Structure 1
Amino acid sequence: MAKTDLLRARDALDVLVRKSDTPESEVSAVVFEILQAAGYAQGQQEARLPETSMRLDATFEARIEDKTERVGVEVRGMRGNVNGQTVYRAQDLVRKDLLDRVLIVSLGGYSQLARERAEEGLLGKVDLLDARDLRVWINKRIAIEDEANLPIPSILKRALRAMALHLATAPAEMDEVEWRMMEQLLGEVFEGLGFDTEVTQSAKDGGYDVRLKDRDAKVYLVEVKHWQTKAGSGVVKRFVEVNAKGGSAAGLILSTGGFADCIFEGLIELQNTAIHLGDRSKVAALCKAFYRAETQLWQSDDDLPALLLGGTTRLTEPPPKLAAPSDLATAI
């Protein structure tokens, strides 16, 4: 189906609704335009059922849930609402296996008895639709068409951004995110905050997961540890070395499981690159900043380093023979 056909059908429906007295033939034509745009009806067929003298506005074959079904359509304009007898007659066609289902479309609405009868028997086989129902249905088809035409990377990007927005208000659900997906999710967050962002491939990460560049072309490396356990000295030591070799302006380790008390073990000395540590609260804060940016309640901050490193803990050289958490100085 083509999105342009659906949009054209929606516009035609809106024109009908604005009219005070629309001929049923015109309503029928628009209904079929909608059904054709959605890929159900290939063309209007003979309205009269050969097996009976009963006349509908049309019958056609449609592919519904991987089955070919014979569908009848009865259309009413603005003149009064549809009564219970009309619904009973449509249900009788289904009971006798003359049709698989019937659509009754009325711009004038339905009586209470009609709605009750539609709910009581053959639910889902006789559908009552008014103008609002048709418009909602068209909009859903348009949304499906949009999604169906997206390439896989774009679908994944949308999903990651939606997850980041969700974590901004529900950080307790962070553990539901798979570890590799957390790296990609944070990549979307950093990009949304204004960084030039590159998420590395898991087999070729070079000792970091995300490489960022701010507006001044300064490089920042980020290592993400989305573990149930605390990150230890081995993680910190390797990351210090990677930043020293890469010449980054600063490095950030994000560990949702926190950090072990022994993080200084094995460190002979700290290099010139500032290394910062952030736990799950920092991840949540980044998602909240992303949420504000996406909902336009927050203007982009030119000081991206402050946005990245604010609220983290800066790793400082430990005193001799001591590697205690108290020797971590909070970054400003």
Structure 2
Amino acid sequence: MSINEISRDEFDSLGIERHGFFPERAWFRSTELNLAGTVILDPFDKDWSYVLVAKDEDGTYRYIEGEVSLPSHQDAEEKLFMSATRIELAGAFQEELYTEPESAAQDETSLIITSIDDEVKKYLKKHPERLYELSPRKFEELVASILKDMGFDVELTQATRDGGRDIIAHVRNAVCSYLTHIECKRYAADNKVGVGIIREVIGVHHIRKATKSIIVTTSFFSSDAVKEAARMENQLDLKDFTDIKAWLQRY
């Protein structure tokens, strides 16, 4: 195994952009691949997470894998080592990570920034780490498009408004109309959605009398947020980065 612990200064020298706010406690780097990782402590939930990043063709390190809400520093390190070792041993994964199909590489910026279509969803299926590069509004458009493909009639609320429902979705038939409000949060991988957002969405849910509310995030949810949402188990769903990746598998 070629995953070695390094100093923070060595990690910083890689030029990896930080998007989160929680303190890093240990840093690692592969001697075989342009692969690095860090173990992070959540000072609020007192749990641990890890993040793995890899160097892309443009020289930028981007998120490829991670896990949150782990019980201890040791658990986070073990998970990081297991994931990094699996990536190293896969061999073929290196090519897939660093080499993009010619069609996707030709105009990557316009692919992500213009309209959301099936080609964009196919691209994000192969490169889910690029979800973090979408603007918040484009992330909302992506979620709306996926829901439309699932059979919902969707409406995006105005981009300037922040009223706890970025997307209004209906399933209508001859018997009933099923109203769903969706709140989208395009957060960094280690910036977990907290209990405050859950309470805001619950408040709007009751005021607007929706059948169901859903919070969708590129990140994950704090343990307090999960507990709060459980009080409305049949009316509020939480969808995180793992769920979005599962949705994209249909494309």
- TM-score w.r.t. length of structure 1: 0.37
Q: Between Structure 1 and Structure 2, which shows a larger proportion of strand residues?
A: 2
Return the structure number with greater relative CO, CA threshold 8 A, min gap 6: 2
What TM-score do the two structures reach when normalised by structure 2?
0.48
Q: Larger C-alpha radius of gyration, 1 or 2?
A: 1
